[in-house]
Amino acid sequence: MALNLKEIGNQEVQLWDRSRSRLRRFWKQGPLVLVFLRHFG
């Protein structure tokens, strides 16, 4: 099943600097490379 990016893009995310944003904002201006990391430590 394909990912529903419309739905995912509406998710509000929290950034390292405590600001919040909808995920879709990151690809609005151009391509986004979204890198998921493993755990810290």
Partner 1 sequence: MRRKKEAFDLLGARVVLVGLGSVAETAAFKKRFEVPFAMIADPEKRLFEAFRLKQASVGSLLSPKMIVKGVRSMARGHTLGRPRGDVRQLPGVFIIDAAGRIRFSHHAATPDDHPRPEALLDVLRRENKGPGA
d(C-alpha 9, C-alpha 23), whole Å: 5
Size of the site for partner 1 (CB under 8 A): 31
Q: Coil, helix or strand for 26? A: helix
C-beta of 4: minimal distance to partner 1 in Å? 9
Q: Which of 12, 8, 16, 10 shows the shortest CA–CA distance to 37?
A: 16
The binding track of 12-41 with respect to partner 1, each residue x by CB under 8 A or -, is -xxxxxx----xx-xxxxxxxxxxxxxxxx
**List of residues contacting partner 1 (CB under 8 A):** 3, 5-9, 11, 13-18, 23-24, 26-41
